[in-house]
């Protein structure tokens, strides 16, 4: 099997325009950061390999974007595989932190809503 090399180019630049009905101010996409490049000491216990993408198994470091809802109460960080476009959202707000897998419905004019267990 021919596995593309890291990093895979981002081809889907969509972001949810709203989160549970609240507009989101996104700060754009950022390229992957190779975790191994961050830790130069090999014996300090911090060195780790990237986790595989949950969608395709590619040993990815995700592209990422961060946004804040217009009311300032919720921060959203999304990570996207450049190979298969699997997108995971991490929501941090007054009710704690949640993790979601986004699908095509999250990018429509209504934005993303919590409508299913584990999916937005």
- Structural domain of 25: 18-103
Q: Would 5 be classed as within a structural domain?
A: no
The dihedral built from the CA positions of residue 100, 104, 110 and 111, taken in this order, carries a sign that is: positive
Q: Would 113 be classed as within a structural domain?
A: no
Mean pLDDT for the stretch of residues 13-28? 96
Q: Would 119 be classed as within a structural domain?
A: no
pLDDT at 98 over 90: yes
Long-range contacts for 96-103 (Cβ within 8 Å, ≥24 apart)? 101/54, 102/16, 102/78
Mean pLDDT for the stretch of residues 23-47? 69
pTM: 0.78
| 3-class state of residue 10 by DSSP | coil
Q: Would 4 be classed as within a structural domain?
A: no
What is the model's pLDDT at position 47? 46
Instruction: Report d(CA 111, CA 49) in Å as an integer.
Output: 33
* 78 or 119: which leads in pLDDT: 78
Quote the number of domains for the chain: 1
């Amino acid at each position: 099997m021919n596995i593309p090399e890291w990093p895979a180019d981002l081809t889907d630049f969509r972001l949810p325009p709203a989160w549970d009905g609240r507009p989101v101010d996104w700060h754009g996409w950022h390229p992957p950061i190779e975790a191994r490049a961050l830790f130069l000491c090999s014996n300090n216990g911090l060195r780790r390999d990237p986790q595989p993408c949950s969608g395709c198994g590619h040993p990815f470091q995700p592209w990422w974007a961060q946004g804040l809802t217009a009311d300032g109460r919720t921060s959203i960080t999304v990570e996207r595989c450049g190979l298969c476009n699997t997108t995971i959202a991490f929501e941090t707000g007054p009710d704690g932190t949640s993790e979601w897998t986004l699908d095509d419905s999250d990018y429509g004019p209504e934005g993303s809503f919590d409508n299913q267990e584990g999916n937005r």
